[in-house]
Amino acid sequence: MMAFLNFYLIPGVVLGCIYALGAIGISLTFGILRFSNFAHGDTMTLGVYITLSLVQFSGLHPLLVAPLAMVLTTGIVLGLDRTFYKPFRTSPAIMLVIASFGLMLMIRSVIQFFWGVQLQALQTGIQMPLEALLPVRFSENHLLIIGATVLLMMAVHLVLTRTKIGKAMRATSDNPELAALTGIDTEVVIRATWAMGASLAVAAGVFLGLDTHVETMMGFKLLLPMFAAAILGGIGKPYGAVAGGLVIGIAEELSAYPWIGTTPLLSPGYKGGVAFAIMVAMLIWKPQGLFRGRQF
């Protein structure tokens, strides 16, 4: 029982938190801008490498410099939106999707040019389980990731429900034409959407870097699970993205548990396939997702 908890359930929750934060940005982008942003994963990677540089420069903990990395990444994303996405606002969605593919490759190439392709770490040393919680094997980073994710999700909830820009974002997501007619500045809403999505992507990337390592393909590898989480929860529904991320993360880890006999049910190498299978099944069975979002 403790092996199930320590080596499968807890890592699944941690991974689900990372997926959830990334999926919120994908869900918001689709809900408001009406296109699937395939550059979201590499935006996450860019934020992690900016955080890495700030850590190396200041010597501070990654979570302390992450807010500055969020600000810097948001500024870059807003510049990319103005340059590459804004000219296609009224074009068919497929043009925005193709533009996002191009940006995905461009961002990754810039990262590889400036930071190289070798594996790096946000922290040195080995994270040991906290002795006070034994026999439950929680490391300090696991507690930080889960706690910070809860705080960020609460912040997203408060922004969407209690602030003027949050209400404008929800109105634009429901009906952009009607929102514009009522006097809502949709460009301000779009900038807020990019800012929130980029900030959460940086947080997700930093958490992944703390849990594993930093590499130039890390965001791209998470792209499919994050899309699966957004679709499972209901595209355009931030709260659904949170639920979808947790389900996908836990399902991936539990798929390798030896449910029958002593060997894993699925090889750990097939974890990505679990996310893909869940996404395809949801698109066939219930395209609107668990929270009744938009259909593709």
Q: What is the pLDDT of residues 151-189, one digit of tens each?
A: 999 999 999 999 999 999 989 888 888 888 888 998 999
Per the structure block, which two tokens stand in for 234? 């209901």
Give the pLDDT confidence score for residue 162 in this predicted structure. 92
Dist. CA 109–CA 104, nearest whole Å:
9
Dist. CA 259–CA 144, nearest whole Å:
30
Residue in the structure block whose two tokens are 């009406």: 34
Q: Within a 10 A sphere around the Cβ of 88, how many other Cβ atoms?
A: 16
Per the structure block, which two tokens stand in for 46? 């860019």
Name the percent of the chain lying above pLDDT 70: 98
Tens of pLDDT, residues 224-271: 999 999 999 887 788 889 999 999 999 999 998 888 877 887 887 788
Kindly report the pTM of this predicted structure: 0.93
pLDDT at 294 over 70: no
Give the pLDDT confidence score for residue 295 in this predicted structure. 54
**234 phi-psi bin (left φ>0, alpha ψ -120 to 50, beta other):** left
Tens of pLDDT, residues 121-162: 998 877 777 777 778 888 889 999 999 999 999 999 999 999
Give the pLDDT confidence score for residue 214 in this predicted structure. 96
Q: Evaluate whether 63 touches 51 at the Cβ level (below 8 Å).
A: no
Residue in the structure block whose two tokens are 């979570």: 63
Per the structure block, which two tokens stand in for 76? 């870059």
Domains annotated for the chain, with CATH where assigned, are 2-122+136-285 (1.10.3470)
Q: 214, 233, 215: which is closest to 25 by C-alpha?
A: 233
Picking from 27-31, 51-55, 159-163, 277-281, which range would have the lowest pLDDT averaged per residue? 277-281
Dist. CA 244–CA 62, nearest whole Å:
26
Q: Evaluate whether 104 touches 36 at the Cβ level (below 8 Å).
A: no
Q: Evaluate whether 228 touches 49 at the Cβ level (below 8 Å).
A: no
Per-residue b/e over 46-78, b at no fewer than 16 CB within 10 Å?
A: bbbbbbbebbeeeeeebbebbeebbebbbebbe
Tens of pLDDT, residues 204-225: 999 999 999 999 999 999 999 9
What is the rounded radius of gyration, in angstroms, for the C-alpha atoms of the chain?
Answer: 19
Q: What is the mean pLDDT of the chain?
A: 90
Q: 86, 109, 75: which is closest to 35 by C-alpha?
A: 86
Per the structure block, which two tokens stand in for 23? 């999926």
